[in-house]
Structure 1
Amino acid sequence: MRISPARRLAGATALAAGTVLTLAAPAFAHVTVQPGTVQQGGYSAVAFRVPNESDTASTVKLEINLPLDHPLASVRTQPIPGWTATLEKSKLDKPLKSHGKDITEAVSKITWTADAGTKVGPGQYQDFAVSLGAMPDDTDKLTFKALQTYDNGDVVRWIDEAKAGQPEPAKPAPSLTLTKAPAAAAGDHHADSADAAKGKDGDHAAMASDDSTARTLGVVGIVIGVLGAALGVLGLRRKSNAS
């Protein structure tokens, strides 16, 4: 039986599409950080996106471990209806400087636990939002090891770190890429400072000009007053002589 070129093309297209979906599905199922990239040195709101991989069980707990080799001074969770968030702190080997103060402990773990009747069911996902900062400026990546617990007791450990030149691990830990702040931002800041300085200089110059004008008018007024008085005296003398 001969297969027409159109059928061959359709078959090849279906095979390619199936391959793409097969490859994409595991990537989508990973626990990830959204967005995946933020700037160094600042504060950012991110979310740990947790898809439910099971066809029969539901996710009821998420544990996120924060890196203590690059501790974060500020960690805040966003309230999620039906979920309770708890933060655990650990002592730091080296104090962290934040706003001129020494921080001796930092959040090392966040745990979200589903309340009764709440869950992430099959075919669903949940975003667990947090505010983090200040982001370190001495690394280009933060790794957060995560544990996902199902209501049937299964625990998926998302703790494997990806390594350059090697295939992605089956259960990669969610990571956040850090980029340097644009140089233009610093330039704009200096430019603003320069403009502000120019503005101040201009204000001083305007004030000096106003003072000079006021003094000149004052002198002119005094001269006019003196001349007026002199003319008045002269007029009185003439009137007296005429009498």
Structure 2
Amino acid sequence: MNRSRARLRRLRFRRLGISAVGALVVVGVAAGPAAAHAEVTASDPRALAENVTLSFTSEAESETAGIAELRVVLPKGIAPDALTLKDAPKEWKLTATADGYTIGGPALPTGTDAEYSVTVRQLPDEKSLAFKTLETYGDGKVSRWIEVPTDGEEVDNPAPALELKAAAPGAKPISPGPSPAPSSAAPSIRPSTASSSAPAASAGARATSAEGAGSSTGAVGVIAAVPVLGAAGALWWMRRNRGRA
């Protein structure tokens, strides 16, 4: 009787163990795809904080290729020229775009997370910031972490988000740094110079043409007067000879 009870206990323990392992496997499979994500942290997560280091992590989720490039859309209040690259994988470079930046280089080893950091001149006066990110792998696969949840709802591909604390007492927005001169500045100056010289040139041309016209008119007048003077001289000579005769 005791032996049969012991056997029943062992069977129950085995069944419980198998069930627990199965549950863990199911949880692991379900959490696998959702585990990969992109996130951001700040050295000073306060509104209007200056010279803040933002650290980004994009977890690798491909089993065939490594991350080669990240495309980030900056939130309102942070201009592309207001940040500089602080740390990144070897040979990766940061390039500013119209609405953010790209950072990338040689593809990382498969399964390696992409980690880098930038320094921001000043954080905006906001409560939270979202950095929409596109991850491009060496084989061309693209993961889009661009969804911004509203009203506390959950999303499948959330953008890296940073919650900001209230600004420090007395903190104020700093004036933006000097913007580089646009490459089209020189061409914009050249047409204005040409247009100002064009009237002078046309005026000179008109003056020259006027002078030429005056000279030609004078020459025509002299040529026309020569026959008249010749005829008058001949008439005077004939009258003089008749008087003598």
- Corresponding residue for 1:4? 11
Q: Compute the displacement of 1:84 (Å).
A: 1.5
Which structure 2 segments of 5+ residues have no match? 1-6, 171-245
Structure 1 or 2: larger helix share?
2
Q: Compute the displacement of 1:141 (Å).
A: 1.0
Matched, 1:111 2:102: yes
Q: Taking every aligned residue pair, what percent have the same amino acid on both sides?
A: 29
Matched, 1:129 2:117: yes
- Corresponding residue for 1:70? 77
Cα–Cα, structure 1 residues 36 and 55, in superposed 2: closer, same or farther, change >3 Å? farther
SS in 2 for 1:179: coil
Q: Compute the displacement of 1:186 (Å).
A: 5.0
- Corresponding residue for 2:53? 45
Tell me how many residue pairs correspond in the alignment: 160
- Corresponding residue for 1:56? 64
Tell me: higher relative CO, structure 1 or 2? Use CA pairs within 8 A at least 6 residues apart: 1
- Whole-angstrom CA distance in 1 between matches of 2:127 and 2:34: 22
- Corresponding residue for 1:83? 92
Q: Which digits, 9 at most, give the CA deviation of each residue in 1:99-147, with x for residues without a partner? A: xxxxxxxxx3121121xxx32232211212111242222x211111111
Q: One-letter code of the match for 1:141? A: S
Matched, 1:28 2:35: yes
Which structure 1 segments of 5+ residues have no match? 91-107, 188-243
Matches within 5 A, 1:148-187: 148-169=135-156, 171-181=157-167, 186=169
- Whole-angstrom CA distance in 1 between matches of 2:77 and 2:33: 29
Q: One-letter code of the match for 2:93? A: T
Q: Compute the displacement of 1:36 (Å).
A: 9.8
Larger Rg: 2
- Whole-angstrom CA distance in 2 between matches of 1:71 and 1:79: 19
- Whole-angstrom CA distance in 2 between matches of 1:14 and 1:79: 42
Cα–Cα, structure 1 residues 40 and 23, in superposed 2: closer, same or farther, change >3 Å? farther
TM-score, normalised relative to structure 2 = 0.56
- Whole-angstrom CA distance in 1 between matches of 2:113 and 2:62: 11
Structure 1 or 2: larger strand share?
1
Do the aligned residues in 2 keep the contact of 1:50 with 1:127 (CA within 8 Å)?
yes
Do the aligned residues in 2 keep the contact of 1:65 with 1:109 (CA within 8 Å)?
yes
Provide the aligned C-alpha RMSD in A: 2.9
- Corresponding residue for 1:18? 25
Q: One-letter code of the match for 2:36? A: A
- Whole-angstrom CA distance in 2 between matches of 1:163 and 1:16: 32
